[in-house]
Amino acid sequence: MSETPRIELLLVEDNPQDLELALRALRKANLANHVHVSRDGAEALEFLFGDAAAAGRRLEDGPKLIMLDLKLPKVDGLEVLRRIKDDPRTKRIPVVMMTSSKEQSDLVKSYDLGVNSYIVKPVNFDGFAAAVQQLGLYWLLLNEPPRSDPP
Amino acid sequence: MKASIKEVDDLKAALDEHAIVAVTDPQGRITFVNDKFCAISKYARAELLGQDHRLINSGHHPPEFIRELWTTIAHGRVWRGEIKNRAKDGSFYWVDTTIVPFLDPNGKPRQYVAIRTDITARKQAEEKLNASNKEVLDLKTALDEHAIVAITDAHGKITFVNDKFCAISKYAREELLGQDHRLINSGFHPKEFIRELWTTIREGRVWRGEIKNRAKDGSLYWVDTTIVPFLDANGKPRQYVAIRTDITARKEAEEKLNASTKEVMDLKAALDEHAIVAITDAHGKITFVNDKFCAISKYAREELLGQDHRIINSGHHPKEFIRELWATIRQGRVWHGQLRNRAKDGSFYWVDTTIVPFLGENGKPRQYVAIRADITERKRIEMEIKELNAELEHRVVERTAQLEAANEQLESFSYSVSHDLRAPLRAVDGFSQAVLEDFGPQLPDEGRRQLQTIRSAAQQMGVLIDDLLTFSRLSRQSLAARRVDFNAMVRGVLQELGAPWADRRVEVRCADLPPALGDPALLKQVWLNLLSNALKYSGKRSPAVIEIGVADKAGRPAYFVRDNGTGFDMRYAGKLFGVFQRLHRPEEFEGTGVGLAIVQRIVQRHGGQVWADAAVDRGATFHFTLKSEPPT
């Protein structure tokens, strides 16, 4: 059984078109190799907490970046964010909200829960693609995360 | 000669009969006394003869008197005078005395003959008269000192006044004498009063009474007056003596007292008319109730007197309340409050009550006066208002809940709009781009142009959605109220809009703007929309002139933005502030038609007005006011 390479980016997106466009933008920037996609909040939490345990993976060795849509079926984006930031083993993973909502209350709640970035998806694809690519480059390549030492 | 001797003897006998006779020698020794001398001196003749006259000296006369007597007779002259002598028994008697000296050939007195007449009775009467005269004078002096005295003749003309009469009447004596008493008549007393006075004294009877007179200076004074008529031999009054005492101060005090007593009585009557009054003694027993008390309590007076106030106790008030009431009034303090009482028929009434304790000499309340006003109707209305308020409160809560629910729905609606409508637009735009990227080379030019049109339409719709959301958010967003520096705000907005513009000529004229009170973020949106419009519609001018200033609109500052741009036809001004309403075609000027609608909504929410003046190709001016000026 070959070792699965570490997932670098968890993309949580329920809209298939947005998902395809996001993956297209990531591909263009050569950032799509180690991407895991969850289609709702429950799946995302399952991937982060459930599967990791099943696969014997340490939670600390989670993805290097999570791109999270705000409005998701089952468990919404804010709840997913709260769970990630509440758990000491996952709280250091950078989370970027990718959403269509400019509502102040959403922004405030997200920042209060410890979100690392909040991006309003532009309607314009060029803008959208640029945003996705810049985020990927910044958080995956430029940003230096703290080391997660084994216990 | 014989005949003449006889005559002398007769004369002597007559003298002896009539007078007290004594003869003394030059040394003063008595050589003869007649019977009358013995009788009046109460000495026997033998006791007198050979004695000196000092025997009967009373010691009444001073030595000079006696010396003058002896000098006179020793010189051979007759002495006359009245002498007071003392009889043997110590009693005194007065004698009118004539002493005649008889001379020898040498001219020296050889003997003295003293002839006396008893004048004791006359002298005593004189002494008495003198004493009573003195007494009368003393009395007159005292009266003068004390009283106001005037005497008038039978016709009422003043014949005498004393100093006090002048002092009180402020007339000089000469102004009064000969005048009638009408001079000081005050006109206060009725004619009958004056007539009765005259009738009394004319009949010779004393009149007593109080008279109000007028002094010379017009001031009035009261005198307690006694008029005594003195009668002539015919029994008619020959003069009247009037003795008066100044009682002005007493009368004034009486008048004041009467007035204040009258006032108190009036007040009491008014209070009785107006209020519910009861008096209780120190033990709380009712000692007085007025009619209104009986009426409201529905008890007869006799059912209440002697009773405790508990008779009308409704049981409504807690014990502490009643205890506090009693504690207050027992300490001598006034209690004021509202009480609910029960009438005899069991119905309740409310009274606004003031209880005033009246203290006895020991400082403890001796009685309590309670004054009440019926406030039953007011209380009933208060209760109704309370109920209505509660009802209203309840309704408000309900409505608020409904409103909140509606707001929540609206919020989730705009949330959906924001989130869900934009996603497909992004797909339209994104996949058009993907087609262009992936298959562009295989498409004809027209196909690529059409795909571009699809993209720009999708993007345009995105802007529309954003504007719509902004606009709808304005209605529910709560307003901050802060002092806003419009000068700084306008500078910031112009910078945001690209000032100074490198690609066009724009002249901005900005006046000094007074500060405003309002929501800074929203007011900034107003300036942003107005200024960006001004820049947009003056895009074809060179230079574009943007004027920012403040005018006066009924005492309020009216801020304005003026441009020299394309303007518009005032016939369409009504459409200007509607959502998605445009006066220009998109090819001329881009825009969604929401900007001015947003401006109007914000200004209205600040209690202000917005209006426009324009003409085609002659520029436009937009004014707005706000509700109130900021506190300085």
DSSP for A124-135 reads SHHHHHHHHHHH
The CA distance from B451 to the nearest CA of chain A, in Å, is 13
Q: What is the mean pLDDT of residues A60-75?
A: 84
In the predicted model, what is the mean pLDDT of chain B?
A: 87
Using omega within 30 degrees of 0 as the cis cutoff, is the peptide bond preceding A94 cis?
Answer: no
Nearest residue, CB atoms, A17 vs list B427, B455, B465: B427
Report how far apart, in Å, the C-alpha atoms of B361 and of each of B326, B358, B364, B365, B580 are. 20, 10, 7, 9, 90
**Is the CB of residue A133 less than 8 Å away from at least one CB of chain B?**
no
Task: Give me the residue label for tokens 């009035």.
Answer: B220
User: Would you give the DSSP letter of residue B575?
Assistant: G
pLDDT value of position B630: 44
Nearest residue, CB atoms, B426 vs list A71, A103, A125: A125
pLDDT value of position B78: 92
**Is the CB of residue A101 less than 8 Å away from at least one CB of chain B?**
yes
A-chain CB neighbours of B425 within 8 Å are 123
Chain A CA closest to residue B424: A17
Nearest residue, CB atoms, B462 vs list A24, A123, A129: A123
Q: CA triplet B93, B29, B84: central angle to 5 degrees?
A: 15
Contact B423 A17 (CB under 8 A): yes
Nearest residue, CB atoms, B434 vs list A15, A18, A24: A24
Q: Which residue blocks in B417-538 are alpha helix, DSSP H? A: 422-439, 445-476, 486-496, 520-537
> Per-residue b/e over A56-65, b at no fewer than 16 CB within 10 Å?
eeeebebbbb
Nearest residue, CB atoms, A125 vs list B415, B420, B430: B430
A-chain CB neighbours of B432 within 8 Å are 125
HSE-up of A36 (CA within 13 Å, CB side)?
21
**Is the CB of residue A110 less than 8 Å away from at least one CB of chain B?**
no
Instruction: Give pTM, 2 decimals.
Output: 0.41
A1 band by pLDDT with thresholds 50, 70 and 90: very low
**Amino acid present at B489:** M
**Amino acid present at B443:** L
How far is it, in rounded angstroms, from Cα B526 to Cα B605? 12
Strand order in the sheet with B207-214: B158-161, B148-153, B237-246, B220-231, B207-214
Asked if B83 and B97 touch (Cβ cutoff 8 Å), the reply is yes
Report how far apart, in Å, the C-alpha atoms of B244 and of each of A44, B197, B212, B250, B454 are. 125, 14, 11, 14, 129
SS3 percent helix, strand, coil of chain A, rounded to 5, is 45, 15, 40
Report how far apart, in Å, the C-alpha atoms of A143 and of each of A68, A136, B364 are. 18, 10, 91
pLDDT > 90 fraction of chain B, expressed in percent and rounded: 33
Q: What is the mean pLDDT of residues B306-324?
A: 88
pLDDT value of position B345: 93
Q: How many residues does chain A have?
A: 151
The CA distance from B415 to the nearest CA of chain A, in Å, is 7
* pLDDT above 50 for A103: yes
**Is the CB of residue A15 less than 8 Å away from at least one CB of chain B?**
yes
How far is it, in rounded angstroms, from Cα A134 to Cα A119? 11
User: Would you give the DSSP letter of residue B478?
Assistant: P
**Amino acid present at A119:** I
SS3 percent helix, strand, coil of chain B, rounded to 5, is 45, 25, 25
Among the listed residues A34, A40, A48, the one whose alpha carbon sits nearest the alpha carbon of residue A16: A40
The total of other beta-carbon atoms located within 10 Å of residue B544's CB is 22
Question: What is the distance between the terminal CA atoms of chain A, rounded to a whole angstrom?
Answer: 25
Query: 20-59 in A: which are within 8 Å (CB) of B?
Result: 21, 24
Contact B459 A123 (CB under 8 A): yes
CA dihedral B33, B34, B36, B40 (to 10 degrees): 10
Contact A21 B458 (CB under 8 A): no
Q: How many CB pairs under 8 A join A and B?
A: 64
Q: Which residues contact B300 (CB under 8 A, 6 or more apart)?
A: B294
Give the distance from CA B507 to its chain's centroid: 72
Structure confidence by residue, pLDDT tens digits, B182-226: 888 888 899 999 899 999 998 889 999 999 999 999 999 999 999
Q: Which residues contact B526 (CB under 8 A, 6 or more apart)?
A: B598, B599, B602, B603, B624
* pLDDT above 70 for B3: no
User: Would you give the DSSP letter of residue B629?
Assistant: P
Give the β-pairing of A9-12 and A65-68.
Answer: parallel
Give the β-pairing of B556-563 and B544-553.
Answer: antiparallel
Contact B418 A71 (CB under 8 A): no
Contact A102 B466 (CB under 8 A): yes
B83 band by pLDDT with thresholds 50, 70 and 90: very high
**Cα four-point dihedral sign A24, A29, A33, A38:** negative
* pLDDT above 70 for B353: yes
B-chain CB neighbours of A100 within 8 Å are 418-420, 422-423, 426
Structure confidence by residue, pLDDT tens digits, B218-274: 999 999 999 999 888 888 888 998 989 899 888 888 888 888 888 888 888 888 888
Contact A124 B459 (CB under 8 A): yes
A-chain CB neighbours of B459 within 8 Å are 123-124
Among B346-350, B351-355, B431-435, B593-597, where is mean pLDDT lowest? B593-597
How far is it, in rounded angstroms, from Cα B341 to Cα B205? 67
Chain B CA closest to residue A123: B426
